[in-house]
Structure 1
Amino acid sequence: MRSIWNGAISFGLVSIPIKLVNATESHSISFRQIHAEDNGRIRYRKVCELEDREVSQSEIGKGYEDADGTIIPITDEDLSHLPLPTARTIEIVAFVPADRIDPLQMDAAYYLAAGGVPAAKPYVLLREALKRSNKVAIAKYALRGRERLGMLRVVGDAIAMHGLLWPDEVRAPEGVAPDTEVTVRDKELDLADALMDTLGEVDLDDLHDEYREALEEVIAAKAAGEAPPQAPAPAAGGKVLDLMAALENSVKAARASREAPPGGEAEVRRLPRKKKTASTSTPAATPEKTTPKKTTAKKTTAKKTTAKKTTAKKTAAKKTTAKKATSRKRSA
Structure 2
Amino acid sequence: MRHVRSIWNGAISFGLVSIPIKLVNATESHSISFRQIHTEDNGRIRYRKVCELEDREVGQSEIGKGYEDADGTIIPITDDDLAHLPIPTARTIEIVAFVPGDRIDPLQMDAAYYLAAGGVPAAKPYVLLREALKRNNKVAIAKYALRGRERLGMLRVVGDAIAMHGLLWPDEVRAPEGVAPDTNVTVRDKELDLADALMDTLGEVDLEDLHDEYRAALEEVIAAKASGEAPPEAPAPAAGGKVLDLMAALESSVRAARESRESPSGAEAEIKPLPRKTKPAPTAKKTAAAKKTAAAKKSATKSTAKKPAPKKTTSRKRTA
With the shorter chain as reference, the TM-score category is 0.7 to 0.9
Q: What displacement does 1:263 show?
A: 5.8
User: Match for 2:255: what amino acid?
Assistant: K
Residues 262/139 of structure 1: CA separation in 2 closer, same or farther (3 Å cut): farther
Give the aligned partner of residue 210 of structure 1: 213
Contact 2:26 2:114 (8 Å CA) reproduced: yes
Q: In the alignment, is residue 73 of structure 1 matched against residue 71 of structure 2?
A: no
Match of 2:248 in 1: 245
Counterpart residue number, 2:263: 260
Deviation at 1:207, TM superposition (A): 0.8
Structure 1 runs (4+) deviating above 6 angstroms are none
The farther-off stretch of 196-205 and 72-81 is: 72-81
Q: CA deviation at 1:51?
A: 2.1
Aligned counterpart, 1:276 = none
In 1, the alpha carbon distance for the partners of 2:226 and 2:266 equals 29
Counterpart of 1:161 in structure 2: which amino acid? M
**CA distance in structure 1 between the aligned counterparts of 2:85 and 2:265, rounded to whole angstroms:** 59
| Structure number with higher helix proportion | 1
Pair 1:160-2:133 in alignment: no
Please tell me the residue identity of whatever aligns with 1:61.
G
- Which structure is larger by alpha-carbon Rg, 1 or 2? 1
SS at match of 2:97: strand
Question: Across the two proteins, how many residue pairs are aligned to each other?
Answer: 265
Report the AA paired with residue 146 of structure 1.
Answer: R
Task: State which of 179, 183, 198 in structure 1 corresponds to 2:182.
Answer: 179
Q: Which residue in 2 is equivalent to 1:230?
A: 233
Q: Which residue is equivalent to 2:149?
A: 146
How far apart, in 1, do the equivalents of 2:236 and 2:185 lie? 34
Bigger mean CA deviation after superposition, 188-197 or 40-49 = 40-49
Residue 130 of structure 1: how far off its partner (Å): 0.5
Which deviates more, 38-47 or 51-60? 51-60
Other structure's SS at 2:19 match = strand
State the shift of 1:7 in Å. Answer: 0.6
| Range that drifts further, 238-247 or 96-105 | 238-247
Question: Displacement, 1:37?
Answer: 2.4
Q: Is the 8 A contact 2:10 2:91 kept in 1?
A: yes
Identity of aligned residues (%): 93
Are the counterparts in 1 of residues 261 and 267 from structure 2 also a CA contact under 8 Å?
Answer: no
Task: Report deviation, 1:135.
Answer: 0.8
Q: CA RMSD in A?
A: 1.4
Q: Quick one: distance in 2 between partners of 1:34 and 1:249? A: 47
Shift of 1:180: 1.4
The offset of 1:16, in angstroms, is: 0.6
Alignment check: 8 A CA contact 2:143 2:152 kept:
yes
Offset at 1:231?
2.3
- Structure 1 residue runs of 5 or longer lacking an equivalent are 266-332
- 1:189, 1:13 → 2: CA distance? 54
Distance 2:212 2:19 in 1: 38
| 8 Å CA contact 2:108, 2:167 repeated in 1 | yes
Distance 2:161 2:183 in 1: 48
Partner SS, residue 107 of structure 1: strand
Partners of 2:260 and 2:266 within 8 A in 1: no
TM-score (norm 1): 0.77
Letter in 1 for 2:6: S
Question: SS of the counterpart of 1:99?
Answer: helix
